[in-house]
Every structure is written in C-alpha cells, then in structure tokens.
Amino acid sequence: MDKEQPQALAETRPMMPADGFSPELPALLAKRSGGISLGVRLLLFMLKGLRIGALEVHLPNGEVRHFRGQERLELHGVLHIRSGALIRQVLRNGEVGFGEAYMDGHWDSPDLTALLTVLYLNEPYFTGPYEKNPVSRFLGWLKHKSRANTKKQALKNIQYHYDLGNSFYRLWLDDTMAYSSAVFRSPNETLMQAQLNKFANMFERLDLKPEHTLLEIGSGWGGFAIYAAQRSGCRVHSITLSKEQLEEAQRRAQAAGVGDRVSFELRDYRDVQDQYDRVVSIEMYEAVGEEYWPTYFRAIQRALKPGGRAAIQGITIHPEIFDAYRRKMDFIQKYIFPGGMLATPGVFIDAANCAGLTAQQPEFFARDYADTLAVWHRNVLAVRDTILQQFDARFLRMWRYYLSYCECGFRVERVNLMQVTLTKP
C-alpha cells in the first residue's frame, strides 16, 4: 500500500445506524413566538450551498428548513438551533466555535456524527464567512504553539487529559482499559475482543520472544504491557507522564500476575537511556507535537538494540488538508489534547527514515477507529448520569462532541489510523 492514504475525502464508508441512544430533545420542539434573527438568517444563507446529502434545520421559533444536495442523499443531518448565539460563535471562531456553541447548549442534534459528516462534506460549498476570521485563527494558532511539548509542558498536557481520574475512564472503556482504536475482525465482536485483536496485531509486528526486553512509550492503563508479558513471557518496561495511569497500570499488572515482569515508570521518552530488543508505542506520537517528531523517532532509534524493531499505532491526517490543519488550532487541540499534532503517513514515515529507521508494512484502519469511537459514545451516554455526578453538563457535551467529531473524521477519512513496523539495522 502507498504510504499516503489513497482514499478520496468525500468517499465515506457506510455509516453506522443512527444513534437511537441519544437523549430526546423535547425542549427544542416547543414553538417560540417571533421571527428569525439576523444571525440565524445568515446561517441559513450559508447553508444554501449544500451539495452532498440532506440537512434538516429546526429554528428557535419552531420552523423547519430543509436543504437537499444533488448527491448522496442517504446522508442526513438534523440541526436544532436553540439560540442565535450559535452564529456569533461560528463567525468568531469558525469550526472551533461551532463545537463551543454545542458545549454551551446553543444547538443540538439527535445524531451528532451524522450531522457533522454532512457539514464536513459540504464545507467547501457553503456560502459566507465560515472559518474565515484570520484574527481568531491566528490567536488560536498562537495558543496551540504556547502548548508546545517541552518536557515541562508535555507533563502538563498529558496530565490535562489523562488525569481526569481513572474512575471516569473506567466508566466507559472496556475491561482492557485500552484508550486507543480497536480492530474489528467481524461484525459481532465486542469492543473488548476488538481491543485484543489490536494487541495481537501489535504483538505479531514485534515478533516477541520470551528472552526479549520491550520498551513501551505511553503506558495507557497497562493493557498492552500486560498482554505482551502474559503471551510471550518477555520483560516489559513501560513509561508514562500520567500519575493516574501509572498507579492504575501497576495495580492491574500485579492483579494479572505479571508484576515481576512488567514495570511502569513516570518518565519522558526523551530521557530513556537503556536499550531494548523491541519498542512499542500505541497512539502516543500524536501528543509529541510537530517540532518534536524528529526527537521522538531518534529516541526510538536509540532505545532499540541493533537489529531491533518497533511497532507503532498512530493517527494520521489526509495529505490534502495537512497544510491548512497546521496553520490553525482545531477543537481537539484546544479542548482535548493540548499540544497535539497529526502527521500525514508520508511525513510520519519520512521522519522515521531520517532517524535511521526503516518503515515496513503500513496498514490503515479508519473504519475500525470510527466504530471504536461510536461504541465509546454509546458507553458514555449509558452512564451520563454517573458522569454528571463528577463533572458538569458542559463537560459531558464537550466529551460527546469530541467523540462524534473524531468519529466523523474517520468516517470521511479526513484522518486515518496507521499501524507500521520500524526496524533498526
């Protein structure tokens, strides 16, 4: 397979069924007196450019407007506008503002992913100033750059996301506690089985033997380290920047009976001194930041013994949108993974090659990640009352938007999931 993703952005894979698990929206259906505000009129004008799929827009006064494209009408999004403040946030902050307006309750949808998919595919055709505020984009870019992953800032960035509390993640992840894409080999597999499939893929790429030593960069909650030690008998040293993950991973390794072969440490990947037969890193490079990609791959190269190999799973971005993506801060970078950055497959592989590593057998799993995110979203909604005992409603809406936003990205293959093997001569 070519190291760049071959699929066209507009060629989405089949959508999962509409999310009947979403909460009802009775508050949005009551008619309000009055006409349509100027802001809402502007939004409707922007939507007239829709060409792909269909869009149903419910206005604050109870009116419903329908927009139909010329192709792919099976794609159908529903937007309930609660407040004209939506358009002000879109004009101010573009794509990020749209997500913020959802967090603030200015709009809603019975199927977030379906709506975001229709909006994304039509973004080139919408009329008006959407995503055109240069001042806002520049300020967002500056804020993103201020979170660059120096050793000190990397610790803050990781803890910002992963130290929300183990109990929070335990609510909606499966028993492996894997917070990365699963690999579904059949339609009826559970999320846990699909996560074990992912572990098996990475294990096979590493070709682990009992006598091997394995370095894991990015522990998560210890799922793969435990799996590797149990299946091969090898020794694993796993590093993380999250104190919450460190404590939970240590507990889980002891409970699994591999505490004597698996060790976890709070350490930056740049500070690794020893060499290992194998290195694994599952969805960690995304947190490194573009300016540190060369450092990341050099760290892997240094950590490998001659003849060693590494297995990497990471999210990549489509080459056609990479340059535009680099010039702004998106919703994920602002609210979910500060300091994060995605490479194209080609940029990723070139960076590995420049560090003295040879990339082999890249494989892509966009649909698997989309399906993983859909299951996570279902799980989150199933425990939303419990989540609201720990966090406020704005946090829950932010998390829902994050999961749907990412699912949409994988459905349309704006982003993809790559597994690749790196070898050291």
Encode pLDDT of 228-243 as tens digits: 999 999 999 999 999 9
Catalytic residue among 234, 354, 406, 408, which?
406
**pLDDT value at 130 more than 60:** no
Mean pLDDT across the stretch 88-95? Answer: 86
Q: What is the tens place of the pLDDT at every residue in 359-374?
A: 999 999 999 999 999 9
Q: What is the tens place of the pLDDT at every residue in 184-234?
A: 999 899 999 999 999 999 999 999 999 999 999 999 999 999 999 999 999
- Name the more confident of 408 and 128: 408
How confident is the model at residue 25, as a pLDDT? 41
- Tell me the C-alpha distance between 303 and 297, whole Å: 10
**pLDDT value at 10 more than 80:** no
**pLDDT value at 72 more than 70:** yes
Mean pLDDT across the stretch 79-92? Answer: 89
How confident is the model at residue 374, as a pLDDT? 97
pTM for the full predicted model: 0.88
- Name the more confident of 411 and 162: 411
How confident is the model at residue 35, as a pLDDT? 64
Give the sign of the dihedral formed by CA 192, CA 193, CA 198, CA 199: positive
How confident is the model at residue 67, as a pLDDT? 96
Q: What is the tens place of the pLDDT at every residue in 311-361?
A: 999 999 999 999 999 988 899 999 998 889 999 999 999 999 999 999 999
What domains are there in the chain, each with its CATH number?
Answer: 31-132 (3.30.1050), 149-423 (3.40.50.150)
Q: What is the tens place of the pLDDT at every residue in 249-280?
A: 999 999 999 999 999 999 999 999 999 999 99
How confident is the model at residue 45, as a pLDDT? 87
How confident is the model at residue 126, as a pLDDT? 81
- Name the more confident of 118 and 31: 118
How confident is the model at residue 212, as a pLDDT? 99
How confident is the model at residue 174, as a pLDDT? 98
Burial group, residue 359, by CB count within 10 angstroms (0-12, 13-18, 19+): buried
Q: Is 234 a catalytic residue?
A: no
CA dihedral (114, 119, 120, 126) in degrees, to 10, reads 160
How confident is the model at residue 127, as a pLDDT? 64
The listed range with the strongest mean pLDDT (33-37, 146-150, 400-404) is 400-404
